[in-house]
Structure 1
Amino acid sequence: MASDLHETIFMAKQERHKNLFLNYRNLNNFPVELLKDEGLQFLERLYMKRNSLTMLPENLAQKLPNLIELYLHSNNIAMIPQAIGSLVKLQSLDMSDNALQIICPEIGQLRCLRHLRLANNQLQFLPRELGDLRELETLDVSMNLLRTLPEDLHQCVSLQCLTADRNLLYCLPRQLCSLPDLNELSMAANCLTSLPLDLGRSMELQFVFVDNNALLKGLPSYLYNKVIGCSGCGLAAQLSDVNHLSLGLGAMTIPLPSEVKAIGLETDRVLPLEELACRVLHADADQSGRGDVNFLLPKSLLDVLRWPLGHCHRCSQPMFTIVYPKLFPLRETPLAGVHKRHNIPSGRPTESLLPPLHLLTRHF
């Protein structure tokens, strides 16, 4: 594994690669090969998802000065170093599913940043310096411990999608209603008691998700001509019912997800059976400790099971046959075109999973 990693980085240096994929490498430390000598001056995109990193090097910007995309989803990073502010060309930063407790103010120096993902961490507050990110288009801070959002976010004049599901938010700063380009606002599963009366007054805001806020009693009148209600990746909640359908594979019996039994209702948002089966088989392989899938399945399906296309940023479930390029459209990454065979539109891929408008407003 170490020799393979060394060879991968060596080739990237020699051939001046712009993209480097180091996902699923069981890395505990940032590879020293990336930081030796002059570093990788030509590297633009670094993928290090699903490792065990605990920190970032202070000289990251010095050795990788031309980074425009940095993906660190699913590691154990507890803090972002102040040096992050020196990555002046950075446009996309994904640090979802880590152990972050504090975001340093220097993040406000990333003036080119367009996409920021901080979901599934331990953040209790966000720095007001986020308001300095005038180019920021998407921000995902779902599944944290936030009680409020900084008022300075209203200075992010390019913000189009703000996701803050599953926090402890009790209010939405009224200043955010003035964001000129905000198209989607998702604050599901919080502690909201009310919403600003002028929320939705902007013609740009079309999608507002505030379901699962038990104390929220009503909606501003401007929202009644918007798409409101449900959000999520399409997975149903975990059920205690043990009478699931099952799939027999030789001597092994694998329970199928409960969604399989729900097909046929107008309100169901059922994922493709191929996708559900892949998730169950992959989860069984992980739980059994084999680390691989050795079922008697076609090679093409085995290849899919070994390498998920991505992970849901709401529930961290692996995705195999479908992906949700909600915050980072695939057309902007090296994975462009992967989704075409599944006929998923690049603009808003989750729309096809949503029930009709009259059902979306059923909670209100």
Structure 2
Amino acid sequence: MATELHETIFMAKQERHKNLFLNYKNLNIFPVELLKDEGLQFLERLYMKRNSLTTLPDNLAQKLPNLIELYLHSNNLVLIPEAIGNLARLQSLDLSNNTLQLLCPEIGRLRSLRHLRLSNNQLKSLPPEIGDLQDLETLDVAMNQLTSLPDRLHRCLSLQNLTMDHNQLSHIPRQLCWLHRLNQLSMAANRLTFLPLDLGRSRELQFVFVDNNVDLRGLPSYLYNKVIGCSGCGVSSQVLEGDMGEVLSEALVGLPAEVKVIGSETDNVVPLEELAMRTLQSFYHHRPADLSLLPPITLPRSLMELLHFPLGHCHRCSQAMFTIIYPKLFPLRDTALAGVHRRTAVSFVAYCCSSRCLRTFDLQG
């Protein structure tokens, strides 16, 4: 095996191969032949799937500076060296099926990275620096031990496919709704109790999978015309028609903890804090070209963040909502999904900004 490996690498150097396949070579350590002298300066794709590697060399980027794709699927990697951030041209990195417990912040320096696969590891968190990957299109963190996602993930503006099945997520940041290129979002087998109010508002998002989140009993009505997987969600008993207040009080529909007030159909008074935030949001959204005309107001950090990332937008008129919502429940049996999943426990929920919008909202097929 050693002779065969040596010949393979020797031939790659002699013929200046751009692709090198070292899958299934029973490697325990990274081959020193790849790092000798000038290394393989011309190599673009390195495949090392299903070996027994535990570490990567610190001088990997120095010896293989032109790597575009690096496949390390199914090894025994516990730690990725900080020097991984020096692979300036890397576009695809597959670290699936290893034993990673920590991902170094230097991963955020891979500014050319488009595909990052980290499924089936032992990650309990992701570094905030992932949000620096502006060109990232695919992120797969399924089958880890994640309890939360970094808030800065919404900065990955090119993200199209986000997979985080089989983790321990109880919620996802509402900022993810600002990923306007996101096409597929998979969150099956987590501990989700609610979804962000704006989820599905982007036309690009077409596929949402939340199967086997047993405490998830309500889906934002923006998802109504999307391709949805929700088998195993909610309770098995049928949702009975009744007063909306009773339905909500029985927690048949999960609502975000940040929502301070749930409006009722007889309440026509908008709280002062909500009115102030809506006014500020409208002013900043249509701010004048001369920034000196902006009011001299300094908001606390928490309110400024809320101003930039509202809880949601009215499903009827698109008004931003900050502290108050008016939920309207639509049982699943009245939708097309009822015939697919034969379930009536999971419902769609429309979130409106006022009792007027609530009364006029109609979920169409």
Interval containing the TM-score (normalised by the shorter chain)? 0.5 to 0.7
Q: Is the 8 A contact 1:146 1:168 kept in 2?
A: yes
**Per-residue CA distance 1:33-58 (angstroms, 9 max, x = gap):** 00100000000000000000000000
CA distance in 1, matches of 2:190, 2:199: 17
Matches within 5 A, 1:227-266: 227-229=227-229
How far the C-alpha of 1:201 sits from its partner, in A, is 0.4
Q: How many residues matched?
A: 240
Q: Is the 8 A contact 1:228 1:361 kept in 2?
A: no
Structure 1 residue aligned with 2:18: 18
CA distance in 2, matches of 1:95, 1:362: 38
* TM-aligned CA distance change 1:16 to 1:361, over 3 Å: same
How far the C-alpha of 1:206 sits from its partner, in A, is 0.3
Larger radius of gyration: 2
**Per-residue CA distance 1:96-146 (angstroms, 9 max, x = gap):** 000000000000000000000000000000000000000000000000000
How far the C-alpha of 1:360 sits from its partner, in A, is 5.1
How far the C-alpha of 1:215 sits from its partner, in A, is 0.8
Unaligned runs of 5+ in 1: 232-355
CA distance in 1, matches of 2:337, 2:22: 42
* TM-aligned CA distance change 1:220 to 1:35, over 3 Å: same
How far the C-alpha of 1:217 sits from its partner, in A, is 1.0
* TM-aligned CA distance change 1:230 to 1:192, over 3 Å: closer
- Report the secondary structure of 2:166's partner residue: coil
Matches within 5 A, 1:53-68: 53-68=53-68
Matches within 5 A, 1:99-248: 99-229=99-229
CA distance in 2, matches of 1:83, 1:3: 30
- Report the secondary structure of 2:219's partner residue: coil
2:27 equivalent to 1:35: no
**Per-residue CA distance 1:227-260 (angstroms, 9 max, x = gap):** 00169xxxxxxxxxxxxxxxxxxxxxxxxxxxxx
How far the C-alpha of 1:361 sits from its partner, in A, is 4.8
Q: Is the 8 A contact 1:227 1:357 kept in 2?
A: no
Q: Is the 8 A contact 1:228 1:360 kept in 2?
A: no
What amino acid is aligned across from residue 117 of structure 2 in structure 1?
R
How far the C-alpha of 1:171 sits from its partner, in A, is 0.1
* TM-aligned CA distance change 1:100 to 1:49, over 3 Å: same
* TM-aligned CA distance change 1:362 to 1:162, over 3 Å: farther
Q: Is the 8 A contact 1:108 1:129 kept in 2?
A: yes
Matches within 5 A, 1:265-304: none
* TM-aligned CA distance change 1:2 to 1:357, over 3 Å: farther
Unaligned runs of 5+ in 2: 232-335, 347-365
- TM-score after normalising by structure 1: 0.65
Q: Is the 8 A contact 1:229 1:360 kept in 2?
A: no
CA distance in 2, matches of 1:125, 1:218: 27
How far the C-alpha of 1:180 sits from its partner, in A, is 1.1
CA distance in 1, matches of 2:148, 2:90: 27
